Homo-oligomer: A and B are copies of this chain.
């Protein structure tokens, strides 16, 4: 039935220039999102709730991620944008247009309030998730840009430089990040494009990234997908059903920091280029040693099933551990990291080729967590120092964002508590 909404918009808008007044009736469409759970890949995911959708939501197939710089200096303009974005996100996630496709308030000279490429497409599991970067609170010179500096969470610091990092600042950071996930790339792209359109004059796109193919499974019902190394990735991920673990490792709890972030989560992004051609020339046995799992089944080395417990101790006939001490599975495992856990939600990417005859491809890593100082940062320090996989990857982009809790009322908007409204 959300599906019907966008189809109806189509019919109304379809009368074209001759019927603009009729299409204007669409401005009356209720902004209240529908609280339907996604049953099929084409269905809608509920937009409202205690936490934002798009975090423990079963991972959709496609990603369009964008980071914006805020270019307005006006706090009220920024608040209005966040209100407008929230309303548009509520509509689009329910399978509606971002705004009227016909004339805006009956004015035929106005540009459409929806760009149109998703007309007729179902909601497709679209989720839109927002996060605030440290630079929204304080600029590089330490200046309080929007009266928010007092609300900066201690944990929201730019990530440190890790050993081997080759970060490109122009595709890193940003004041506001928006993650759109959907089972149809046209729906995800439509969402980001319309939010960018709504933000014209207030924000500017800093960088954006498309991704495909789930590299993480976030519910127990989903098969573990494969990354572009050809290996299953995310077998031991946090799952939506593990409520106690989510409370402990994913959601910011009361008392963790400023109140506005309670029920939220920290988002870490890393664009990890894979040296595909080099990897493809390495023997299977070496690939499996580096990962610490077999390529076929995804079983930890020395075991037979994907979900078998990792065996850290057994040694082979040669006296060496079956699970190499430098293997990715060993180094990234909670066992090796003070039980640190994250909810990973990354996507494969291919950005064409690099002009040197190589595919420009890899993993756009996305992880949500309660506190990056206890999760991503120590785990990545260990990986950066010891992981054999480093020979085949380059971290080229980095980002950290504080994602506020979910939208809970009709007048609520993204960051309402942060702005004291």
Question: Contact residues of A with B, CB < 8 Å?
Answer: 10-17, 20, 62, 64, 66, 69, 101-103, 108-112, 114-120, 170-171, 184-186, 189, 192-193, 196-197, 200, 204-210, 212-213, 223, 225-231, 276-277, 280-285, 287-288, 294-297, 299, 301, 348, 350-353, 355, 357-359, 361
* A57 → B minimal CB distance (Å): 20
Select A16's contact among B103, B119, B204, B294, beta carbons within 8 Å: B294
* A271 → B minimal CB distance (Å): 10
Q: How far is the CA of A196 from the CA of B282 in the complex (A)?
A: 15
Q: How far is the CA of A117 from the CA of B10 in the complex (A)?
A: 38
Q: How far is the CA of A192 from the CA of B13 in the complex (A)?
A: 40
Q: How far is the CA of A227 from the CA of B190 in the complex (A)?
A: 11
Judging by beta carbons under 8 Å apart, are A16 and B299 in contact?
yes
Q: How far is the CA of A186 from the CA of B185 in the complex (A)?
A: 13
6 contacts across the A-B interface (CB closer than 8 A): A13-B295, A14-B294, A101-B284, A109-B285, A116-B231, A193-B228
Judging by beta carbons under 8 Å apart, are A210 and B119 in contact?
no
Judged by DSSP, the binding face of A is: mixed
> Residues of B contacting A301 with CB < 8 Å?
16
16 additional A-B pairs beyond A109-B285, A116-B229, beta carbons within 8 Å, are A12-B296, A17-B285, A17-B288, A101-B296, A109-B283, A117-B213, A117-B229, A119-B230, A119-B295, A120-B223, A185-B212, A189-B350, A193-B359, A197-B277, A200-B277, A209-B352
Judging by beta carbons under 8 Å apart, are B112 and A207 in contact?
no
Top 3 nearest A-B pairs (CB, nearest first) are A116-B230, A14-B296, A16-B294
* A295 → B minimal CB distance (Å): 5
Given contacts A197-B277, A223-B120, contact A284 B102 (CB under 8 A): yes
Judging by beta carbons under 8 Å apart, are B205 and A353 in contact?
yes
> Residues of B contacting A295 with CB < 8 Å?
13, 16, 101, 112, 116, 119
* A316 → B minimal CB distance (Å): 10
Given contacts A119-B296, A226-B116, A231-B116, contact A284 B108 (CB under 8 A): yes
